[in-house]
Structure 1
């Protein structure tokens, strides 16, 4: 009897619907072996890998420093647009945005790399390979994440070029040579993202004074409709135009403030003219924050993007602050990054404007600002009619106005840079490229407007008032504590009523001054007064200053001293 497979009897009992799913295997039939994966031959690479013509960097465990060195070398050889700025690796980003009447213009900024974006850029120019043990050969791979993380964190050790700023319009180097080639300029460390529609007309490398006067007239014609109060106000407006074009190559430049008594006088339009010539677009504006800290955050964000022109619009009242002072006098500024405990150093290459009705500069901003005042002397200045639109005139032939700026500066340099003005603090480069050429061509000195701003400084007025009251009610060169000063200013006349509304003070103006500077609930606060006197101590105003004698036991003493043309000894 033929032997039967016991599984056959089991499936017959279960019924035909559960018939055996596979045929029986006879003793002489071989079980098919599992197919083996074909071995990749040497030199093969995965489909879709990096192009073979790209240079190769081999990624191996424990060799991250070598891979970074080779990567940086290949990036430098390829001229890749990866730069270092403020402790980060950055790349230029350009956008085409609408201008006016259907025109477009190029705007540019810097964008910091993160791990995915750096991996993307590296894979475009470098072929990374790792060793595959299965095929015993080197195969293509993505840029290693550990290498990218280490590369991003290599601040201070990068060999990639540092970049100071980004511009979209050709400019002049400090030596007068033209920077007009798109890309990175090693001499100035600027990146020029050239607007494709921009073209410079032919220019002389050594223009004459006559050519400079003609170029200046081209710029002055744009300002024909502005109601400047004094010649110095027009000089400041021209200074703003020249500064905006060459600011990228100047380490520091003063703030240009434009004020008027009424809205609609043309303050913002004046800034737009400078911005359109320098960047090809009207100037985006920011508002001053309600607090100094808020303004600092807004300015810091613009510095991080390397914005070419900054305009603080419609300032109400006083303008000052530490951040604004630093931006207009220091080439390097530390900016706190929002959401991070970081304060990288940024190079400032922005032209800073501020506009406002009855704008007043306070503190150190008076010597960091050139001031332009407009006054149309009409009730509704915004209803005035003009013969042309200066912004449209510039956009129709922007290259001609950029060339006019360059001609003015080059002609002054070609004439031997004659000395036409004295030094001005930190602004030596700006004075040589902007201020001196304007004076050389017959305009007023823009720096003369600083004296106007200084005279209007509320703190300076308060110091003068203090010195006057001090001479009248206290002794010169005698030391007084803050309590003694307060007692003198708040002394009451003999026989006066103690009723608050009927008190007769001997020196009511002196008391009012101290209340404005150190008032606290209707009384003068001794601590606040001491801080104010200490802050203004040593500042010479009209030949006098406050001397502070520190005394930890009995309280600091303050005295008013007069300037001696010869030697001076402390009064204590």
Structure 2
């Protein structure tokens, strides 16, 4: 692997952003690749800081102190690196100037991230940035640290005193913990870095973790945004006024709040017994290190290969092997190499250990205590011995049906599922034999009958397995979960929370809002009031390109409420803008907020590997949520995405198994991006919602110029009224006899006739009016790139070339005229084409794949075309 060139511009921006010069000096710390190789320096000069970073780059990890150090530290190492015993401690820090959130993908220790893992961290950073903006604060600067994502916030400087030091530490910790609680999970962890003396990656330096490979390369850290300091008083106010968690009293210390669980103590090392198990049992060591496919529990439940799955699996396996002390198991999770449990905190560890111990006790099949004293005589009694298994199975199903009111066990297509109400919002969970076993324990009293007595028993494992494999077809059917009133296929408005058999859905109502009553036959005044609320309030300040784009935004808003009126598929709603700051992310948040009631939608990353896209689609559809989002896409090209958009029932292998499953596709699909590349195949499956800024820097537009200065807060306040407006427009269409639109879209004819009819009935025009614009852009872009690749091959064949040579080709033959502008400087032209090539790297155009690699000799990125017939023999470019 070659070493990328260092970015002095980002290094200097790091120094300037932290703003230490007026309040102290900057600590630079180099942690070498060899144990104990640490160099530390304190800097008051930007030039000296940059020079030291340049010299240290590639020799180890290059870190900087987030907060300024007192100026007297210069006496230890004045603007140069030295081998000091330690850096500054928390007690020596006197000012706070910045706050950083550090997001890392969960992976094996001392390894670099894959592109997919890195993408997860950046996507999490984007969600946090959106949330912070929604709270009225400035967006942070997003930095890619090489393996993860960092969010850098600049705050007005705070002087630390004896009176406020402890409180500020607690407030920074609470702010970080709140973000961790909201956003950690799904393969990412938010590191704990609230302490004052914390160090962080110098942006612009090389990240060195483990041995570099094509899949896990050493990357150059870089800023993803304009790397400039803009102090945010609103964020500082949020941190300094937020309510702090109450500290437990001395008598309550060590006892989990609101829990009967035993307190835990984390030991510095594993117990001798656990050390022995790790050294003698290969499968236990595999779980400890986060690898392997060992089953968890004696019931053979398959392993969840997420970090949380490994935590739980290890605790359960150790409990089954006789480790019963919670502190012993907690210590094992704390010391797992991937650090996931440590990052999640002691509360998470305690819950995981308690769950593992509870399941271990059940798996040992200890006879339950006599049930006569607990009032469980009402449960049916099932004899497990001395009978044919089919008779036991019949009794089991009788017990399940008797206990299934209100229903919690359902059929989804041919799969047995249950409503997992512990989640918020609830999810649809597939029942495996382990879940089936637990459910059978709760719906019947299981006994063994002997010659002269009766004894307690557990459900038979073969019965639990058969219940899953051969579910009762008479069970209620469940396809999805909704969080607002919706219409069923016959036009009926479903307003009662709970299960609706006619629509095969569960309505989970949020308790913090109410929707005004929707009249059965809305008057013209009702319709005009609803229309005005959406057009003249909700969408008033969005710079739609034309009336079609606004009509499509309203169609997207209405779709979750009208989805069951449509017998077929719905297109992908593409929220597109030329630059960031235009409002597409805010618009996406609003659309999602209505369908999900403020909860996070399922997010499918558009990975380069189609297998990853397929798995993401399957997982999202299985969860049963109403929205699936593709966020900040650079290109829309995926066979599986194209397939799911025109597939009413998605068929795929169940994750972790070989069997096939069928999942209904009734979700709303949303994508956002800045002028993403769109293939012709995807373009015909898109409903375009395009925004066009009305000034050069839309993100600087004054809040006072907006009709609603905090739109998300306004939406939250008027949520019930806005939902009423959506329902009124649809109800008016139903009352009018459900007139169909004559507009049509191939593969989405039913959707077009219904949604077009609803809009036309409300006198909202422009539906499907921007399709020519969408198709011409997709065709022109595809044709431009095809012509470029043809000319490239004709001149250079498979020869490696520099971007300057390709710029000359483009200008000579007048190719990619919207990418490379001939009035720009040569440097700007190289940058334009370089960015465009980065977006299409590894794409196959005109039968040839575009490769990009770094050439250490010329210190430039080089490009070449690889014909389709030989590209499979080459490794995927990682530069």
**Normalized against structure 1, the TM-score is what?**
0.68
Q: Measure the CA separation in 1 of the matches of 2:848 and 2:377.
A: 77
Larger Rg, first or second structure (1 or 2):
1
Q: Structure 2 residue aligned with 1:184, among 499, 502, 509?
A: 499
Are residues 1:414 and 2:735 paired?
Answer: yes
Q: Structure 1 residue aligned with 2:641, among 318, 321, 324?
A: 324
Alignment of 1:269-288 (within 5 A): 269-281=586-598, 283-284=600-601, 285-288=603-606
Q: Measure the CA separation in 2 of the matches of 1:196 and 1:273.
A: 19
In 2, are the aligned partners of 1:258 and 1:354 still within 8 Å (CA)? Answer: yes
- 3-state DSSP of counterpart to 1:90: strand
CA shift at 1:463, angstroms? 10
Are residues 1:52 and 2:377 paired?
Answer: yes
In 2, are the aligned partners of 1:254 and 1:368 still within 8 Å (CA)? Answer: yes
**What is the match of residue 558 of structure 1?**
none
Q: Measure the CA separation in 1 of the matches of 2:475 and 2:390.
A: 15
Alignment of 1:319-358 (within 5 A): 319-358=636-675
Are residues 1:214 and 2:529 paired?
Answer: yes
Q: Superposition RMSD on alpha carbons, in Å?
A: 3.6
Are residues 1:238 and 2:563 paired?
Answer: no
Q: Measure the CA separation in 2 of the matches of 1:526 and 1:60.
A: 64
CA deviation vs aligned residue, 1:502-554 (integer Å, no higher than 9, x gap): xxxxxx98999xx95134898996979xxxxxxxxxxxxxxxxxxxxxxxxxx
In 2, are the aligned partners of 1:213 and 1:408 still within 8 Å (CA)? Answer: no
CA shift at 1:338, angstroms? 3.5
In 2, are the aligned partners of 1:253 and 1:351 still within 8 Å (CA)? Answer: yes
Q: Structure 1 residue aligned with 2:475, among 160, 164, 167?
A: 160
In 2, are the aligned partners of 1:287 and 1:314 still within 8 Å (CA)? Answer: no
Q: Measure the CA separation in 2 of the matches of 1:281 and 1:46.
A: 43
Q: Alpha carbons of 1:121 and 1:179: their partners in 2 closer, same or farther (altered >3 Å)?
A: same
CA shift at 1:114, angstroms? 3.1
CA deviation vs aligned residue, 1:376-418 (integer Å, no higher than 9, x gap): 1323212222332232222223222222111101111212233
Q: Alpha carbons of 1:338 and 1:148: their partners in 2 closer, same or farther (altered >3 Å)?
A: closer
Q: Alpha carbons of 1:446 and 1:72: their partners in 2 closer, same or farther (altered >3 Å)?
A: farther
CA deviation vs aligned residue, 1:418-472 (integer Å, no higher than 9, x gap): 3442333333442344222112323234323333222222488539999xxxxxx
Q: Measure the CA separation in 2 of the matches of 1:139 and 1:516.
A: 71
CA shift at 1:319, angstroms? 0.4
**What is the match of residue 517 of structure 2?**
202
Q: Alpha carbons of 1:449 and 1:119: their partners in 2 closer, same or farther (altered >3 Å)?
A: same
**What is the match of residue 449 of structure 1?**
770
CA shift at 1:48, angstroms? 5.6
Q: Measure the CA separation in 1 of the matches of 2:546 and 2:814.
A: 35
**What is the match of residue 64 of structure 1?**
389
**What is the match of residue 225 of structure 1?**
541
In 2, are the aligned partners of 1:94 and 1:109 still within 8 Å (CA)? Answer: yes
Alignment of 1:393-472 (within 5 A): 393-458=714-779, 461-462=782-783
CA shift at 1:63, angstroms? 2.5
**What is the match of residue 68 of structure 2?**
none
In 2, are the aligned partners of 1:272 and 1:283 still within 8 Å (CA)? Answer: no
**Normalized against structure 2, the TM-score is what?**
0.46
- 3-state DSSP of counterpart to 1:456: helix
Q: Measure the CA separation in 1 of the matches of 2:383 and 2:692.
A: 69
CA deviation vs aligned residue, 1:203-244 (integer Å, no higher than 9, x gap): 111213432222121122111111111111101111110013
Alignment of 1:541-552 (within 5 A): none
In 2, are the aligned partners of 1:82 and 1:90 still within 8 Å (CA)? Answer: yes
- 3-state DSSP of counterpart to 2:770: helix
CA deviation vs aligned residue, 1:101-144 (integer Å, no higher than 9, x gap): xxxxx5121112233432332333322333133xx244443322
Q: Measure the CA separation in 1 of the matches of 2:379 and 2:867.
A: 73
- 3-state DSSP of counterpart to 1:457: helix
CA deviation vs aligned residue, 1:280-331 (integer Å, no higher than 9, x gap): 1054445422333333322222112122211111111x20322222332221
Q: Measure the CA separation in 2 of the matches of 1:242 and 1:72.
A: 40
Q: Measure the CA separation in 1 of the matches of 2:711 and 2:409.
A: 38
**What is the match of residue 149 of structure 2?**
none
Q: Measure the CA separation in 2 of the matches of 1:490 and 1:119.
A: 66
In 1, are the aligned partners of 2:489 and 2:564 still within 8 Å (CA)? Answer: no
- 3-state DSSP of counterpart to 2:392: helix
Q: Alpha carbons of 1:509 and 1:67: their partners in 2 closer, same or farther (altered >3 Å)?
A: farther
- 3-state DSSP of counterpart to 1:92: strand
Q: Measure the CA separation in 1 of the matches of 2:584 and 2:538.
A: 14
**What is the match of residue 247 of structure 1?**
563
Q: Measure the CA separation in 2 of the matches of 1:463 and 1:381.
A: 29
Q: Alpha carbons of 1:353 and 1:421: their partners in 2 closer, same or farther (altered >3 Å)?
A: same
Any stretches of 5+ residues in structure 2 without a counterpart?
Answer: 1-368, 796-804, 806-811, 817-843, 851-863, 871-879
Q: Structure 1 residue aligned with 2:400, among 75, 83, 87?
A: 75
Are residues 1:92 and 2:419 paired?
Answer: yes
In 2, are the aligned partners of 1:360 and 1:456 still within 8 Å (CA)? Answer: no
Are residues 1:390 and 2:715 paired?
Answer: no
In 1, are the aligned partners of 2:481 and 2:626 still within 8 Å (CA)? Answer: yes
Q: Alpha carbons of 1:129 and 1:465: their partners in 2 closer, same or farther (altered >3 Å)?
A: closer
Any stretches of 5+ residues in structure 1 without a counterpart?
Answer: 1-43, 97-105, 467-485, 492-500, 502-507, 529-572
Q: Structure 1 residue aligned with 2:622, among 304, 325, 346?
A: 304
- 3-state DSSP of counterpart to 2:653: coil
Structure 1 window deviating more from structure 2 (51-60 vs 237-246): it is 51-60
Q: Alpha carbons of 1:490 and 1:279: their partners in 2 closer, same or farther (altered >3 Å)?
A: closer
In 1, are the aligned partners of 2:521 and 2:731 still within 8 Å (CA)? Answer: yes
Q: Alpha carbons of 1:212 and 1:163: their partners in 2 closer, same or farther (altered >3 Å)?
A: same
Higher relative contact order (CA 8 A, sep 6+): 1
CA deviation vs aligned residue, 1:88-107 (integer Å, no higher than 9, x gap): 321112357xxxxxxxxx51
CA deviation vs aligned residue, 1:170-193 (integer Å, no higher than 9, x gap): 211122211122222211111222
In 1, are the aligned partners of 2:743 and 2:756 still within 8 Å (CA)? Answer: no
**What is the match of residue 425 of structure 2?**
107
